[in-house]
Amino acid sequence: MPDERSETQAQLLGHPRWASACPKPTASVHLSDALCGTELDTVSDTPDNPYIHFVQVASMSRVFAYCRVSTESQTTDNQAREIQAAGFAIQPKRIIAESISGSVAASERPGFSKLADRMEQGDVLVVTKLDRLGRNAMDVRSTVEALAANGIKVHCLALGGVDLTSAAGRMTMQVLAAVAEFERDLLIERTHSGITRAKAEGKTFGRPSALTTDQQAQATLRLSQGASVSQLARDYGTSRQTIMRLREKTAA
């Protein structure tokens, strides 16, 4: 099957205005090479300027969308509409929808893994939110870096559509990672503070004891009198491990 990008490049390189200034199309020449160093923001948008048509076509990469929901009862339709409303024209076959928990790493999601294998250098991936790309800040960063290494751009609508593989996108990712780490540390600090306060109030943690306070006292007395662990376990309707833990607690 012919490469649609190579065909487009070959057609564009035949234009008389710039055919002599750009390399002739070969199998190793990419669209980015055909720009010959021309900056996109320096091309004047005038009706008789052939460069503008070239830039418009050359900048049209394959665009994919990844939409994820946590349960089968939810739908990804709103995400697809949000992406299209943002100006991304995406073919239905390139919209990948998946129902899987957000706690699953991106690399372990079947739909996302197939999408990553399908995309090539120069393609664009669009998501509505960062959590579509991973279960936490570190996973999102790892996913973006892996895509960027393959020459794939990643746009997140929740961040204003910024390309996460660009300098601005990487800076945004670093800020978000720092905020996520701060929130995690703050949560741990609050949890420890709550545990300390609860212990000071006399609250106990863990599974309730199988024996009441009176039963523990009786079992401890009988142990000191020589009763066997198995016999006490049968008498109190509990396991041998419970009686053995009581014996160890008493000995300590």
Catalytic entry in 59, 70, 193, 228: 70
Q: Residue 98: exposed, middle, or buried by beta-carbon count in 10 A (0-12, 13-18, 19+)?
A: middle
Q: Which residues contact 124 (CB under 8 A, 6 or more apart)?
A: 61, 62, 63, 64, 88, 152, 153, 154, 155
Measured from the Cβ of residue 64, the count of other Cβ atoms closer than 10 Å reads 22
- 37 phi-psi bin (left φ>0, alpha ψ -120 to 50, beta other): left
CA distance linking residue 5 with residue 149, whole number of Å: 21
Q: Are strands 153-156 and 162-163 parallel, antiparallel or unpaired?
A: antiparallel
Q: Give one DSSP letter per residue of 181-193, joined into a string.
A: HHHHHHHHHHHHH
**99 a catalytic residue:** no
The residues carrying an active-site annotation are: 70
